[in-house]
Amino acid sequence: MLKVSVISPEKVLYEGEASSVVAPAFDGEVGILTGHAPMITALGRGTLRVDGGAGNQRFIVEGGFLQVVDDQVRVVTEQAKAG
Amino acid sequence: MAKGRELKGRIKSIEGTRKITRSMEMVATSKLKRAQDRVVAARPYARALEAVIADLYSPELAERFPLLRQPESGAQGDMPKSGGRAAVLLLTSNQGLAGAFNANLIREARNLLARLAAGGVETELHIVGRKGIGFFRYIGAKIASSRTDIGDKPAAAHGSELVDGLMNAFIEKKLDALYIVYAKYNSPLSTPPVAERVLPVTPPERKGAARDYLLFPNAEEILTALLPLYVRNAVYRALVETVAGEQGARRTAMKAATDNAGDILNVLRRTYNRARQAQITQEIAEIVGGAEALSG
């Protein structure tokens, strides 16, 4: 399982486990599964999907970045809301 | 019993004051709780941003980023060189009755302005909060911009509204530094005023070993996108910490006021009762004296 957190300046929007994450990177969607190599990518604007774990979560994000390291996925973005 | 009535009036009035200070203390306590939650909730974002910037930053890259443009050599300490221009953003509260809270912030800002002026740096002053604006208007200082609409629930958007214009001025080299004066929130009882340099950005230090990341598109572009977020976040955090500090300071001030009112009430009640007792004793003495005169 991946450990996922979605973080905005004001609060942590989501923290939990997921089997997959699909994020809107700056040049198209990027999918993350367990065992992904360490990565940092800039985000564009679109829907972030966090699947498995505690239900399927959707967030609308714009800008910021996504960081993957040791099956921990951190989505850090200035504009994020549950959608 | 003229004195007694006067004392009674004072006791009533101080009881009223104590009611007010006590309810202000309770309001500040509940607002403090919420402001504190906001300070804590803002931490993960700042930490994540810091960690990534520290990971990506390298001195070779620094020269290419306008936001990292360090003061030219010859400048002493972290100050821009003589002839440069710095902006000072002072955060104060809109309301008083918070002890020395605003006075401390204003003093810190004046010290900083004096230090910059002594170094030959031109300054411009941006103020948030009625208390700071009132003071600097009173001493006739020039205020470049002011805001009073942020209140006790600052949002991340407020941070960017405040700093985006200054950040652009810095990139266009119209400014050489940006300082922010705010109340650091260590605990409800410790909210010291601090002056921090926000621009040029001081890169955070890397903690732990460097990881080999795949970077998309590349370190430079990611940093270009993240550095403004970092600056905005510094301002947003200063805003939430100042609000929490204000409520903490107000709670402390109102608690002290409530306690003092209690002490004064004790003294007044004692004086009042003594006066009443003395009067009764005197009346009894008079009656006894009168009765004795009649029977004698």
Q: Is B41 on the interface with A (CB under 8 A)?
A: yes
The per-residue pLDDT for B229 is 92
Asked whether A24 and A43 are in contact (CB, 8 A), the reply is yes
CA–CA min distance A49, chain B (Å): 19
Can you read off the two tokens belonging to residue B95? Answer: 């309301």
Is the pLDDT score of B169 beyond 50? yes
Is the pLDDT score of B74 beyond 50? no
Q: Average of pLDDT values for B206-226?
A: 83
> How many Å apart are CA A35 and CA A50, to the nearest integer?
16
Sheet of A57-62: strand order equals: A28-32, A20-25, A45-51, A57-62, A79-82
> How many Å apart are CA A62 and CA A6, to the nearest integer?
12
Query: Which 3 state secondary structure label does DSSP give A14?
Result: strand
Asked whether B272 and B7 are in contact (CB, 8 A), the reply is yes
Fold (CATH) for B2-20+254-295: Helix Hairpins (1.10.287)
> Is B232 in contact with A78 (Cβ distance < 8 A)?
yes
With contacts defined as CB-CB under 8 Å, which chain A residues touch B211? 38, 69
CB within 8 A of B228, min separation 6: which ones? B67, B164, B167
B25-67 pLDDT, tens digit per residue, is 999 999 999 999 999 999 999 999 998 888 888 877 777 888 8
The per-residue pLDDT for B188 is 85
Is the pLDDT score of B76 beyond 90? no
**pLDDT, greater one: B151 or B87:** B87
Match 């009764």 to its residue by tokens. Answer: B280
Domains in chain A, start-ordered, CATH in brackets? Answer: 2-82 (2.60.15.10)
Looking at this protein, which amino acid is placed at residue B119? Answer: G
Does residue B217 have a cis peptide bond before it, meaning omega lies within 30 degrees of 0?
yes
> How many Å apart are CA B94 and CA B195, to the nearest integer?
20
Instruction: Parse chain B into domains and list their residue ranges.
Output: 2-20+254-295, 31-252
Q: Tell whether domain B31-252 is in CATH 3.40.1380.10.
A: yes
Q: Average of pLDDT values for B266-287?
A: 93
CA count, 13 A, side-chain hemisphere, B185: 24
Rounded mean pLDDT of chain B?
A: 89
Is the pLDDT score of A75 beyond 70? yes
pLDDT band at B72 (very low <50, low <70, confident <90, very high): low
B264-276 pLDDT, tens digit per residue, is 999 999 999 999 9
B130-149 pLDDT, tens digit per residue, is 999 999 999 999 999 999 99
**pLDDT, greater one: A53 or B67:** B67
Q: Is B36 on the interface with A (CB under 8 A)?
A: no
The per-residue pLDDT for A35 is 93
> How many Å apart are CA B141 and CA B143, to the nearest integer?
6
pLDDT band at B71 (very low <50, low <70, confident <90, very high): low
Size of interface A-B (CB pairs under 8 A): 79
With contacts defined as CB-CB under 8 Å, which chain A residues touch B232? 9, 78
Q: Is A10 on the interface with B (CB under 8 A)?
A: yes
The per-residue pLDDT for B12 is 95
Which of B38, B167, B213 has the highest number of chain A CBs within 10 A, making it the mutation to test binding with A?
Answer: B213
pLDDT band at B217 (very low <50, low <70, confident <90, very high): confident
Asked whether A75 and A23 are in contact (CB, 8 A), the reply is yes
> Is B216 in contact with A11 (Cβ distance < 8 A)?
no
Does residue B154 have a cis peptide bond before it, meaning omega lies within 30 degrees of 0?
no
The per-residue pLDDT for A53 is 72
> How many Å apart are CA A9 and CA B238, to the nearest integer?
12
Nearest CA in chain B to A74: B48
Can you read off the two tokens belonging to residue B184? Answer: 């650091």
Q: What pairing do the DSSP bridges indicate for beta strands A12-18 and A2-7?
A: antiparallel
Is the pLDDT score of B1 beyond 60? no
Query: Which 3 state secondary structure label does DSSP give B209?
Result: coil
Q: Is A63 on the interface with B (CB under 8 A)?
A: yes
B189-204 pLDDT, tens digit per residue, is 888 999 999 988 888 8
